[in-house]
Amino acid sequence: MSYFQRHIFFCLNQRDNGENSCAQHGAQAGFDHCKSRVKKLGLAGPGGVRVNKAGCLDRCAGGPVAVVYPDAVWYSFVDNSDIDEIVESHLKNGEVVERLVLPANIGK
């Protein structure tokens, strides 16, 4: 059994060389909002949900991105309402939010 039922990692990578990175596209705000919602809904903790910071997840073309494990479902999000949907639908109820799933061919 997985220590966390669902573990979501947000790329918060910040590039300082002028190249695009998730941090320039609202990644931190998405992470903060997700963390706060998960806590408020009482989902956080062992056996529940963990919301995690991560470095570059190497799928920058779809950024900002996050990945939910052990499901291995990748998301691209735009705003807090996208995050709300990921939290309610996937993290809480285990239903993938298909409209936000990163296409398979999106890479670095």
Contact, 59 vs 107, CB < 8 A?
Answer: yes
Residue numbers 35-94 binding a second copy by CB under 8 A: 46, 50, 52-59, 67, 69-72, 74
Distance CA 37, CA 58 (A): 26
Among the listed residues 86, 80, 89, the one whose alpha carbon sits nearest the alpha carbon of residue 100:
86
Please select the residue that binds a second copy; options are 2, 20, 24, 81, rule is CB under 8 A.
2
Contacting residue, 3, 16, 17, 19, with a second copy by CB under 8 A:
3
Using a 10 angstrom Cβ sphere, with 0-12 exposed, 13-18 middle and 19 or more buried, the burial of residue 36 is middle
Contact window for a second copy (CB under 8 A) among 1-9, 22-30, 81-89, 91-99: 1-9
Binding site for a second copy (CB under 8 A): 2-3, 7, 9, 46, 50, 52-59, 67, 69-72, 74, 104, 107
